[in-house]
Structure formats: C-alpha cells, structure tokens
Chains A and B, each alone.
Chain A
Amino acid sequence: AQKITQTQPGMFVQEKEAVTLDCTYDTSDPSYGLFWYKQPSSGEMIFLIYQGSYDQQNATEGRYSLNFQKARKSANLVISASQLGDSAMYFCAMRDLRDDKIIFGKGTRLHILP
C-alpha cells in the first residue's frame, strides 16, 4: 500500500535561512509522481512543485527545489532564502500513475521568524 510520511509536525526557521521539509514515501509501483503543496491559514491549496519517478534531475521552481532520492524513497522540499510569507502548512503528496490515486502526508507547519 502507498504511504506518505512527514515526520516534522512543526518547524521554526529564521527569515532568509534555507529550510528543508522532510518527506518519505512507500510504494511498490515503479511509476509515480511526488508533489508539494502549501496551505496558508486561509485554507487554499497552492501547488509548489512536482517530481516524476523517472525524472533524472531534481525539480526546481523558483525558490523551491525537490531533493529526490529514489533509493531512499525520500522527496524533501527545500526552500531557499525563506520569507515571512512562507509561514504555512506544507503537504507532501504522491500520485499512483496507474489509477491517478493521490494521497497526502500529515503535513509540516512552518513558522518563519523575523
């Protein structure tokens, strides 16, 4: 069965520092996708970044990068030069490419300190 694990319920980081949010996953399928979403206190879900299981290079989108280590089944999100507006809940998710089932982890609440 598929599973997503986020082991950091909360994190406090000083503004302008880089931050790494951990995500490990478990699946027996060779074809899958990994996502990160941001959820501010407003409740909306904001797509950040995607990595396919066959992608050779780590995905990057602006200040966001996904550190994909396939053998270790990890897909950590790295935010460079954190900003106050980065304070939010962050969710890691995995998609089964056979049937489009998408599951999420429990999330990490990130607090950026001024």
Chain B
Amino acid sequence: DGGITQSPKYLFRKEGQNVTLSCEQNLNHDAMYWYRQDPGQGLRLIYYSQIVNDFQKGDIAEGYSVSREKKESFPLTVTSAQKNPTAFYLCASLGQGSYEQYFGPGTRLTVT
C-alpha cells in the first residue's frame, strides 16, 4: 500500500540533544513537507522540498534542518538550538499535478 510513514510515533529526548525524525513515502511524490502542530497554533510549515537535493525554509525553520538526498525520504533534525521543540510533527507529500497532500501519522516529540 502506498503512503507515508513516520517513525517513531513517540520520541523522548533530553534537552540539548539533536534528534532526527524520519519521513518516508512510496507514493513517488516530488514534493515533501514538514509541519509542526501545537495546541491553538494550527500547522506551521518548517521546511518543504519540491525536488531531490533542494529544499526551502518555511515560516519557522530556525532550529531545524532537513536533507533530501532521495525522492522517498525527507528527514527532519530538531537541533539543540530549537527553543521549544516539544510538539507534534507531521510530514506530508504532494504529487506532480495533484492537489491533495498526503500526511503521515505524525511523531510526538517530547524534550525534557
């Protein structure tokens, strides 16, 4: 079955540590996205990538980094520079000529 996988579902880290969230898709979609969801804030765009080896900052990129070495994969690293990293992170993809974003199940990150 085609879709987007995010792992793990729950992630716990100590403050000061970098952590990488996985996002893999087998939909052959060109564009991929990372969003952060906090209560009352909706989904805020962190980074997005239209094509392999290229990505753009979203509205809240500070403290985050991404890579797009393969079409199927778009990992997000939450660095120690991110002031408040505890949140629900959603990965999404979009196919060429399509208008429906497909979302993964999300990763809930807790940093203490």
Q: Contact between B40 and A106 (Cβ–Cβ < 8 Å)?
A: yes
Q: Contact between B59 and A100 (Cβ–Cβ < 8 Å)?
A: no
Q: Which of A6, A9, A50 is the most central at the interface, judged by chain B CB atoms within 10 Å of its CB?
A: A50
Provide the main secondary structure of the chain B interface.
strand
A-B contact count (CB 8 A): 54
B100 close to chain A: CB less than 8 A: yes
Partner pick for A104 among B35, B88, B106, CB 8 A cutoff: B35
With A43-B88, A45-B90 given, is the CB distance from A102 to B45 under 8 Å? yes
Q: Contact between A35 and B101 (Cβ–Cβ < 8 Å)?
A: yes
* Interface size classification for chain B: 20 to 34
**Residues of B36-57 contacting chain A, CB below 8 A:** 40-45, 48, 50, 56
> Can you list, as one digit per residue, whether each of A84-100 has a CB less than 8 Å from chain B (1) or not (0)?
00000001010100011
Interface residues of A (CB under 8 A from B): 6, 9, 33, 35, 43-45, 47, 50, 52, 91, 93, 95, 99-107
